[in-house]
Structure formats: structure tokens, C-alpha cells
Structure 1
Amino acid sequence: MPMEMDTTDLIARARAGDQDAFRDLVQGHSRELQVHCYRILGSLQDAEDALQETLVSAWRNLGGFGRRSSLRTWLYQIATNRCLSMLRADGRRPRTVSSPPEAALPEPTGAGDAPPWLEPYPDVLLDHLVDQRPGPEARYETTEAVSLAFITALQLLPPRQRAALVLRDVLGYRTAEAARMLDTTQEAVNSALKRARATVDTRLADSGEAARQLDTAAEQRLVARLTDALERADLDALIGLLVADVRLSMPPAMLEYRGIESARRVFAAVSFRPGRNYRVVPTRANGQPAVGLYLADPHSGIYRAYVLLVVSTTGERITAITCFNTGVMTRFGLPRTLPEPDSPC
């Protein structure tokens, strides 16, 4: 884990009520704490709320920080327990979605395991996260531990299993440290960890999205081919980019389409039905390629935000596509509308 600078003076000033000192004290940790909350909660909105509540709690309780642990560990303890409290009171979260987002969707191949609250995480918010090196106990690479497959797998776990796995296998805290942070025993942490690892490893194996080496050139070629297929409405070209057992999901609807033929039916019935024209804006989410898809409005001559597609890949093939509604697109700095390609605006 990263070494911390001497914060003795900042802590003393913050304890005396200096809000600027407190801001300087925690600002270097805020981004990684938000990612931590996102891993546990699966929602960027919830993670932002949890981060703010964590910082308020830290400000109010700084007098009780006894330096038995590092400031970073203390903040992680507050954030973890704030997330667990939110999960205990998660009545605001939808449990099911009764109708699919598009009435024209064909029958799904099954129920998806992506929860209704799942949201993508903009890569711009992950900048410098790789510099926060995990401890020696970590089992997952930093980039793997923000992938949509990994975040989805975490959401299948009971809250305390989720927290134990993130603290131990993602952040690399020792069992004794995780037990103190969760106010439990080492035996309870090890038991939770054993069950959590079995669930997550099975889910990642089933998704076909094990840790991969980033090949920037291959990814750029794939995004270019995907963009071209979408903008030309070339269904065969798009299908040619998919692996045989490709998975399509679309939170908040808890349904899944698996396999080439299912994907063809979905795209033919919805995305490529007659009269639809698109523009594509590339972006990145969860350490993966993503594209903002804009649908032409035949009456106004502009393209309106339609969906965000987050793409999981192996080599130059797509293993999974997760479709998110327009509500998440502004988080990525994507506009609500685009002009026609030849428009001077």
C-alpha cells in the first residue's frame, strides 16, 4: 500500500476546527474511497453519497482518531461501515423491474445477474487509482477489481462477505486488520472470505472475463469496427465482432441474452430496425471500452442520447455488452444531443 506523508500538523489543525486543514488531509484519499464504496454498493450515485457521509463522519470524529492505524486505514474503516449501514437500509433500491426498457425486445434467454442498481464507473474517475498499490495480501489486480464483471459478482454476495473480500483480496489488508475494521473476529473474516471467493471465482469463470492484459491497439481497432458497424447499421458486421457465447444485459431490467443468435434477434428487433440511424461517441467505463450511442431524431435533424454500451473484450472480440440508459451518460461528459455530421454547430 502507498506510504503516507506525515500528517501530524494537519491532524492537529483539523482537530482544532480548521476545515481547510481537514480538506487537505483527506483530499488525497477521496477518489480511492469513492471507488471502494462503488465496489461495495455497485452504484456511482450511492458511492458518492457514501463518500460524503464518510467525510462528514471523519470530520466529526477526528478527535477520536488515536493513530493506532494509518489515517488511510481509519478512513477505509469509516467508509466500509458506512456502506454496510446503507445496505442494511437499502429499501430505496429496486429489487426487480417488471418491464423491459424496449417493448420490442424478444424473449430473453434467462434472468440476468446484474442487479437493477448497477451503474458504470467513468474511467476519468479512475485516474491515478493504479498508483494506490494494494497490500501484499491482494488477489486481484487494481484494474480487474473495477471491471463490470467483478462489480456484478460482488453484488451477489451478502454485505459482510462483500466487505471482507474487498478489504482482503482487493485492498490487501491482513485478516487481523480487516477484522478490526469490521469489528469482528479473524475467524469470522476467514469464513466470510472463503464463501465470498467461491461465489466470485465461479461468477468470473462463467462470465469468461478473467484478468486480461490490456492491448490498447487491439482495443482501438475493435472500437473503430464497432463504431463503423453501428453507424452503418451493419448487423452482420456487428455480429462478426461477438464471441459465440456473448452476453447482453441491460440494467435495470434483470434479463439476459446469451449467444450469437440471441444477440442477432435483439439487435435486429431494436437497434437496427428500419428508420434508425446512429452516431457513436467512444468513452471508457470500468477500465473497459464503452460508447455513447445517439439516435437520429427525424423531425429535428439532431441525434439524441440513446444508450451507453460498456463492452467486455478478449483480443478483438466482444464477450459481453452491458446497456445502460441515458441517465448515466452525463457522468461521462457525454452531451444530451449531437448535431448532424455535416452540421457546422
Structure 2
Amino acid sequence: MSADTRPKELGESGLGEVDEPAFSGLAERHRRELHVHCYRMLGSFEDAEDTVQETFLRAWRRRETFEGRSTFRAWLYRIATNACLDLLAKRRPEPATGGEVLWLQPYPDRLLDELPAADANEPESVAVARETIELAYLVAVQHLAPRPRAVLILRDVLGWPAKDVAELLGDSVNSVNSALQRARAAMREHLPVERQDWSGGAEDSGTRELVRRFTDASVATDVGRLADMLRDDVRCSMPPTPGLTRGRDAVVTGWVEDGFEGMQGLRGVPTSVNRQPAVAFYLWNEREGAYLPLTLDVLRVTGGVITEIVTFHADRFLRLGLPERLAADGTE
């Protein structure tokens, strides 16, 4: 790396003479994007946090191996990717199957807002950044084996050249290109067919109106009104609880059998996670004199109807920055 392209904060001697506080300051600049990268690899917000910490620890211990042939950022991505692969080998020897991911966790939009903004002049990059953080993508990518998963994310999300991915994985360019084609084919089995069939996004005006109607109907426990908002092939899941329900009739039947129509004292707070619309539901607790967290419904919206609902338990509320309770009048 020439002097004019070497990151200024590293100086001419690279990392060898950088003390720990200075090194931490350099690494922290990349924490959020590394966390999102690990989250795409792992599907779990908490596992991603652990892996970023492991990445920084490994980077500090190996700082003298940074030779300046790549940027400091790319060097951290290499370490983070290998840390993810190590964790996957240890905790999840087999990829997900059957269309559900039990370890899936939501990612709050307020933290995604910390990422470097995509270039508005490159609409393809903006679309990729949004779509590859949606739950549909996270679920699909978890069905890939770890190494093809890494290839797909590094090539299609981060835009790394095949030779750099091959070097990271200790493989040939031909093998990387072959793995990428297989990974793309496998992803097509799980993702919506066309880009326009992805979520409408939490900021779309039609989507906001649908979320309002969904919230109102849920608070009223009106199964009929809710059913009218679902597409025939809607899918519902509640990680980490096993089970994936497919089809509007099956979903509605499940709601009825679970006694949803008799539930009283609900409140709903619209929010967004993973760049998707969501509703946080609270249930009245007489003893506490307040509405307490119940569930979070994350919606995928296609053509003005709901095509998927992923429900997360109340233990996610704190991570998402949601209120711990609502007062009797529904305020925080």
C-alpha cells in the first residue's frame, strides 16, 4: 500500500506501535457495520454482538500481522467472517431447514441508522442494503452452509472481488465462483421471486395505512378484519418456538384455537425493525396497573396485503428500544 493510500490513522508503521486505546478507537469506527455483517451471517443479534467482540480481541492480538495490503476495514471484515465461521462450526453444525430459523432475532432500525449511508446516486446499492437486512433474506441465507453463505454475503452484499474472497477462505477463484452460483440458486428457493414482491418498506404510505388497520384490528381482536389483510399464501412463525404456519386459513384457525378472539386489554405501538413495518403489542396487567410487553409482529407487505408475519417474544423489547410498559392511557 502506498503512503497516500495507507489509512492516515495507522501511520507508516501500521499497527505495530499502536497502543490499545488507540487501536480500540480505530476499531470502534467499524463496530456497527461489522455487527450487521455478523448478523447477516448468523441471524442472531446477540451472537453477532459476541462475534464482534471476538473479532476485536483477535484483531488486537494479531495486530502485527496487518501488512497494509488491504484497508484496516477490510482486514477487520476478514477476521469477523472467520469468527462467524468458527462460531457456526461450533454452535450450528447444520444450516436451517424447513423455512424457519429458530435462532432468528430482529434488528432495530435505530441501530441500522448508524450505518454509513448508501449512495443515493446508486439505487441498486440502496436496494441491496435494505433488502439484505429484511427477515426474508436473513431466513433464506441461514439455509446455506456456512462457507457458501460467506461467499454470497461477501460477493453480493459487500461487493468483494472473487479473488479477495478466495484468499479469505483459502480457496480458488473458480471454487468461489461455483459456490456463489450454487448459493444464489439456493436463495431463489426461499426469497420472493421479483424485487417488487419484497416488503413495501416501513415508510411507504400504503404500508403505513395497512399497519394502522392491522394494529386496530389486532387490538379489537377482530380475526375477520385481520384475515382480510392476509394473502392466501401468508406465512407465520414465532422464533424460537418451532413451527411455520402456511396459508391464510391455517393462520386464522391457529389464532382462533389459541383464543385470540377472547383476549382483552391490548395496545399496539407501530415501529420498524429490519427495515420492515412492525407492531409492538402490550397487554394490560391489573396488578401492575400498566400495559406490559407481549409480542412484536414484524410484517412483510406485498401489493397492499400481508404476506408474512414473524412474531418475537417480549424479551426482545429492551434490545429494540421499545417502552418497558405503557400507562393506563396507552402512553409511555
TM-score (norm 2): 0.88
Structure-2 residue corresponding to 1:7: 7
Percent identity for Structure 1 against Structure 2: 39
Q: Which residue of structure 2 aligns with residue 72 of structure 1?
A: 73
Query: Stretches of 4+ moved more than 6 A in 1?
Result: 93-96, 137-140, 206-209
Query: Comparing 51-60 with 236-245, which one deviates more in the overlay?
Result: 236-245
In the alignment, does 2:214 pair up with 1:226? Answer: yes
Matched to 1:63, the amino acid is E
Residue correspondence of structure 1 range 1-345 to structure 2 within 5 A: 7-10=7-10, 12=13, 15-90=16-91, 112-129=98-115, 131=117, 141-205=128-192, 210-211=197-198, 214=201, 216-270=204-258, 272-341=260-329
Q: Give the whole-Å Cα distance in 2 for the aligned partners of 1:138 and 1:263.
A: 35
C-alpha spacing 1:9/1:125, structure 2 compared with 1 (3 Å): closer
CA distance in 2, matches of 1:208, 1:254: 28
Separation in structure 2 between the aligned mates of residue 242 and residue 264 of structure 1, nearest angstrom: 10
> 1:139–1:169: 8 Å Cα contact kept in structure 2?
no
Q: Is the 8 A contact 2:269 2:280 kept in 1?
A: yes
Change (3 A) 1:275 1:166: closer
Deviation for aligned residue 1:206: 6.8
Any idea what SS the aligned residue of 1:143 has?
A: helix
What is the DSSP-based 3-state SS (H/G/I as helix, E as strand, rest coil) of the residue aligned with 1:114?
Answer: coil
Shift in Å at residue 165 of structure 1?
Answer: 0.3
CA 211–128 in structure 1, closer or farther in 2 if over 3 Å, else same: farther
Q: What is the deviation of 1:124?
A: 1.1
The alpha-carbon deviation at position 122 of structure 1 amounts to: 0.9
CA distance in 1, matches of 2:316, 2:45: 9
CA contact (8 A) 2:41 2:84 kept: yes
Structure 1 329/213 Cα, relative in aligned 2: closer, same or farther at 3 Å? closer
- Paired AA for residue 123 in structure 1: D
The code of the aligned residue for 2:143 comes to L
Secondary structure in 2 matching 1:146: coil
* Counterpart amino acid of residue 145 in structure 1: T
Aligned-residue offset at 1:298: 4.3
Shift of the alpha carbon at 1:70?
1.3
What is the CA deviation profile of residues 101-128 of structure 1, one whole-angstrom value per residue up to 9, with x for unaligned ones?
xxxxxxxxxx952221111111111114
- In structure 2, what is the Cα distance between the partners aligned to 1:38 and 1:173? 18
* Change in CA separation of 1:222 and 1:114 when aligned onto 2, cut-off 3 Å: same
Change beyond 3 A, Cα 1:140–1:88? farther
Q: Deviations over 1:53-75 (max 9, x none)?
A: 10111112121101111111111
Aligned mates of 1:230, 1:119 — CA distance in 2: 22
| d(CA) in 2 for partners of 1:306, 1:212 | 24
The CA RMSD measured in Å over matched residues stands at 3.0
Give the conservation status (yes or no) of the 8 Å contact 1:130–1:143.
Answer: no
Does structure 2 retain, via aligned residues, the 8 Å contact 1:118–1:251? Answer: yes
SS at match of 1:131: coil
Aligned length: 326
CA distance in 2, matches of 1:155, 1:289: 22
Distance, in Å, in 2 between the alignment partners of 1:275 and 1:128 is: 38
Gaps of at least 5 residues in structure 2 are none
- Tell me, yes or no, if the aligned pair for 1:307 and 1:324 is still in contact at 8 Å: yes
Alpha-carbon separation, structure 2, partners of 1:295 and 1:285: 21
Select between 196-205 and 296-305 the one with higher mean Cα deviation.
296-305
Q: State the Cα distance separating 1:277 from its structure 2 match.
A: 2.4
Cα 1:139–1:159 shift into 2, 3 Å:
farther
CA contact (8 A) 1:221 1:316 kept: no
Query: Given that residues 95 and 142 in structure 2 are in contact (C-alpha distance below 8 angstroms), is that contact kept between their aligned partners in structure 1?
Result: no
Give 1:316 deviation, angstroms. Answer: 2.6
Contact 2:200–2:207 under 8 Å retained in 1: no
Alpha-carbon distance in 1 for matches of 2:23, 2:259: 50
- 1:27-54 CA distance string (max 9 Å, x none): 2211111000000111000000000110
Distance, in Å, in 2 between the alignment partners of 1:37 and 1:305 is 28
- Cα deviation code 1:267-317 (max 9, x no counterpart): 223362324321111221111011111122244432221111111112432
Is contact 1:112–1:255 with CA below 8 Å preserved after alignment?
A: no
Q: Match for 2:272: what amino acid?
A: R
- Using the size of structure 1 for normalisation, the TM-score is 0.85
Q: Point out where structure 1 has 5 or more consecutive residues left out of the alignment.
A: 97-110
Change (3 A) 1:94 1:198: closer
